């Protein structure tokens, strides 16, 4: 039988919603137990949130000052120790999970499955390759621990509230390296919905034209309560910060509504939005590839259309 360890992702004392998505994937393996591991300097609030997620059997905590920031070199040896007795170690396929999980896998001497889309069996998974243009079924060796990252856009968050899993302190006896040190985190301040968990996302591309013009995208997104994303071209041109990039090498999202405004739709961008419920494209070029995937398309000048949209909404 399977026993699964899910690595909790958190920031500023709050559990990241990606963790509950990884728990959903864990549940699909139909395991005997799903334990969530919280590594932090101060664990109580995070562990409390994790304990409420449906399907979680236990929350294990390791509170150490060294765990204040998510440094893979520091966390990985602790996870490799904690993995003893588990058939699977799962982390969300966020920058946190992508940085950490391969380090854990290598310490355990096992291959890693990246970006699990579906669970076909305890050791059989599907995952995307070539920017999502092919989906492969991969089988992990059943005699080893499976280390995998979970493609968050493919999994809904496990429900939260009804569960009350026990929280236990875990002692991990391992010396931690000091060769890697956290300096700072520079964050854009935003009270908009989180891009990766938002149900609506409005994205702007090169067609928006400038950083100043991007205000029209922010304003419209706020009007409909959406998060704001961007294409690589918009980020490269300096219209908006990197954490807004949607695509193969940025964030992969699956909102109910995705509105691509002034985005041509390069393969690498489409990879990031393939699982969106409804895709709307607004572009002045009727031949733009974005229209091939859009559920609703509108050809025209975004600077004319957005004010009209706002008017139609009021």
Partner 1 sequence: MKILVGYKRVVDYNVRIQVKPDGTGVVTDGVKLSANPFDDIALEEALRLREKGIATEVVVVGIGPADLTAHLRNGLAMGANRAIHVVTSEAVQPLTAARTFLKLVEKEQPGLVLMGKQAIDDDANQTGQMLAALWDRPQATFASKLEIADGKATVTREVDAGLEVIEAELPAVVTTDLRLNEPRFIKLPDIMKAKSKPIDTIEFASLGVEAHDHLTTTRYAAPAKRSKGVMVKDAAELVAALKQKGLL
* Rounded distance between C-alpha atoms, residue 46 and residue 268, angstroms: 34
DSSP alpha helices (H): ranges in 191-257? 215-224, 232-236
Site for partner 1 in 86-145 (CB under 8 A): 94-96, 98-107, 110-115, 124, 126, 128-141, 144
Q: Is 29 helix (H, G, I), strand (E, B) or coil?
A: coil
Instruction: Give the number of other Cβ atoms within 10 Å of residue 175's Cβ.
Output: 6
> Please, what is the Cα angle at 34 between 31 and 36, to 5 degrees?
160
Let me know: does 31 contact 3? Beta carbons within 8 Å: yes
Is 269 an interacting residue with respect to partner 1 (CB under 8 A)? Answer: no
Q: How far is the CB of 274 from partner 1 (least distance, A)?
A: 7
Q: How far is the CB of 96 from partner 1 (least distance, A)?
A: 7
**Which member of 251, 254, 262, 272 binds partner 1 (CB under 8 A)?**
251
**Which member of 210, 278, 285, 301 binds partner 1 (CB under 8 A)?**
278
**Which member of 32, 44, 285, 308 binds partner 1 (CB under 8 A)?**
308
Site for partner 1 in 149-188 (CB under 8 A): 177, 179-188
* Rounded distance between C-alpha atoms, residue 255 and residue 272, angstroms: 11
The smaller minimum CB distance to partner 1, of residues 36 and 290, is found at 290
**Which member of 28, 33, 170, 299 binds partner 1 (CB under 8 A)?**
299
Q: How far is the CB of 296 from partner 1 (least distance, A)?
A: 6
Burial (CB count within 10 angstroms: exposed 0-12, middle 13-18, buried 19+), residue 197? middle
Site for partner 1 in 183-222 (CB under 8 A): 183-188, 196, 200
Let me know: does 98 contact 74? Beta carbons within 8 Å: no
The smaller minimum CB distance to partner 1, of residues 151 and 165, is found at 151
Site for partner 1 in 219-248 (CB under 8 A): 224, 232, 235-236, 241-243, 248
Residue whose pair of structure tokens reads 């009350």 in the numeric block: 164
Site for partner 1 in 28-67 (CB under 8 A): none
> Please, what is the Cα angle at 289 between 284 and 295, to 5 degrees?
85
Q: How far is the CB of 51 from partner 1 (least distance, A)?
A: 24
Q: How far is the CB of 306 from partner 1 (least distance, A)?
A: 8
* Rounded distance between C-alpha atoms, residue 108 and residue 76, angstroms: 10
Q: How many residues bind partner 1 (CB under 8 A)?
A: 89
């Amino acid at each position: 039988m399977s026993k699964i360890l899910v690595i909790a992702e958190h920031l500023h004392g709050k559990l990241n919603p990606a963790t509950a998505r990884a728990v959903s994937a864990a549940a699909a393996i139909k395991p005997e137990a799903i334990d969530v591991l919280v590594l932090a300097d101060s664990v109580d609030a995070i562990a409390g949130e994790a304990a409420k997620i449906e399907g979680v059997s236990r929350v294990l905590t390791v509170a150490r000052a060294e765990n204040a920031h998510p440094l893979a070199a520091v966390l990985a040896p602790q996870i490799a120790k904690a993995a003893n007795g588990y058939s699977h170690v799962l982390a969300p396929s966020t920058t946190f999970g992508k940085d950490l999980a391969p380090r854990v896998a290598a310490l355990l001497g096992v291959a890693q499955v990246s970006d699990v889309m579906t669970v076909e069996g305890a050791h059989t998974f599907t995952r995307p390759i070539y920017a999502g243009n092919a989906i492969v079924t991969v089988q992990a060796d059943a005699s080893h621990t499976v280390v995998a990252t979970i493609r968050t856009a493919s999994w809904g968050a496990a429900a939260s509230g009804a569960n009350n899993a026990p929280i236990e302190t875990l002692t991990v006896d391992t010396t931690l390296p000091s060769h890697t040190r956290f300096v700072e985190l520079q964050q854009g301040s935003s009270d908009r919905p989180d891009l990766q968990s938002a149900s609506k996302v409005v994205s702007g591309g090169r067609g928006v034209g400038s950083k100043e013009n991007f205000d029209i995208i922010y304003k419209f997104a706020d009007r409909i309560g959406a998060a704001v994303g961007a294409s690589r071209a918009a980020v490269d041109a300096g219209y908006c910060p990197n954490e807004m990039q949607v695509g193969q090498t940025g964030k992969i999202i699956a909102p109910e509504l995705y509105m691509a405004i002034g985005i041509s739709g390069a393969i690498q961008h489409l990879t990031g939005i393939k699982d969106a419920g409804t895709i709307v494209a607004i572009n002045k070029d009727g031949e733009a590839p974005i229209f091939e995937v859009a559920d609703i398309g509108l050809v025209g000048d975004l600077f004319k259309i957005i004010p009209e949209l706002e008017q139609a909404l009021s």
